[in-house]
Amino acid sequence: MARTLVRTDWNKVDFDKLFLPGLSVDTVIFGFHDSRLMVLLLQYKNTNEFALPGGLIRKKESGDDAAQRVLKDRIGLTDIYLEQFHTFADPDRSDPSFFRKIMKARQMEPGPGHFLLQRFVSIGYYALVDFTKAVPVSDGLADECKWHDLKKLPTLIQDHNQIVKTALSSLRSNLDKKLVGFNLLSELFTMGELQDVYETVLNEKFRRTSFQRKMLNLGILKKVDKKWTGGAHKAPFLYTLVPNEKQ
């Protein structure tokens, strides 16, 4: 079900009172669809700019809470896998000209010392979501929020392409270390679907029998039933994670 965006009157927001200065979060939201790893992006049509979903941190809020709030606002989901993976603090990463364009497009007239035009250090998080359950909705400044194929990402603002690259590296290292890949699937999945996730994220192919043996030997999968395909004798088995194994 689609959600309606309620736009904020940004001219009336007291940023200095509500938010921590110079600190923000950026989220790389990964989904898996049709053998493709997808990334959620915001698009600012008046500037033809693309960005990762992010947000400011409220004065009585932790970085984790701020990232969770961004996820709930952008895709309507809670209780999903979220990992803090890096802090981005290069002094050249902030570009006030971008925010000045966006603010003017929303009838804001920022002065040279406006809260949003200062240098920001960003805490990077990546989230893994069930693509079928996420309902993207834009924030109050962007015009569009939609999924993009990781292999065909446009040029993003500031250092956001580097943030995506760093997030992907962290995700790849955690596939086996923390078994996080299951968070990209529905609760029930076939071994083929699980292998598809691993091959897509790692960008490499595996032998079916070797991959299946590796996964089953972990002792974390429970066979549930056969997937209905119209031919029961050829239908693949469905699996789920045993309780308390999903990270």
Q: What is this structure's pTM? A: 0.90
Claim to verify: residue 139 and residue 211 sit in the same structural domain: no
Q: Is 94 domain-assigned?
A: yes
Distance of CA 172 to the CA centre of its chain: 15
Claim to verify: residue 64 and residue 98 sit in the same structural domain: yes
Strand pairing of 19-33 and 121-128? parallel
CA distance readout (Å), 140 to 42, 76, 183, 189, 204: 11, 15, 28, 36, 39
Claim to verify: residue 145 and residue 210 sit in the same structural domain: no
Q: Is 1 domain-assigned?
A: no
Instruction: Determine contact, residues 29/53, Cβ cutoff 8 Å.
Output: yes
Per-residue confidence of the chain (247 residues) as pLDDT tens digits? 445 444 556 667 788 999 999 999 999 999 999 999 999 999 987 778 899 999 999 999 999 999 999 999 999 999 899 999 999 999 988 878 888 887 777 777 777 788 888 899 999 999 999 999 999 998 877 889 999 999 999 999 999 999 999 999 999 999 999 999 999 999 999 999 999 999 999 999 999 999 999 999 999 999 988 776 655 557 788 999 987 655 5
Claim to verify: residue 214 and residue 101 sit in the same structural domain: no
Claim to verify: residue 24 and residue 71 sit in the same structural domain: yes
What is the CATH classification number for the domain harbouring 224? 1.10.10.10
What is the CATH classification number for the domain harbouring 172? 3.90.79.10
Instruction: Determine contact, residues 227/238, Cβ cutoff 8 Å.
Output: yes
Q: Is 40 helix (H, G, I), strand (E, B) or coil?
A: strand
Claim to verify: residue 109 and residue 78 sit in the same structural domain: yes
Claim to verify: residue 126 and residue 203 sit in the same structural domain: no
Residues 142, 213: Cα–Cα separation, whole Å: 46
Claim to verify: residue 152 and residue 100 sit in the same structural domain: yes
Our count of domains for the chain comes to 2
Q: Which residues lie closer than 8 Å to 205 by C-beta, 6 or more apart?
A: 199
Domain housing 27: 11-177
Q: Is 212 domain-assigned?
A: yes
> Angle CA(44)–CA(152)–CA(77) in degrees, nearest 5?
60
| Amino acid making up residue 190 | T
Q: Is 199 domain-assigned?
A: yes
Q: Is 111 domain-assigned?
A: yes
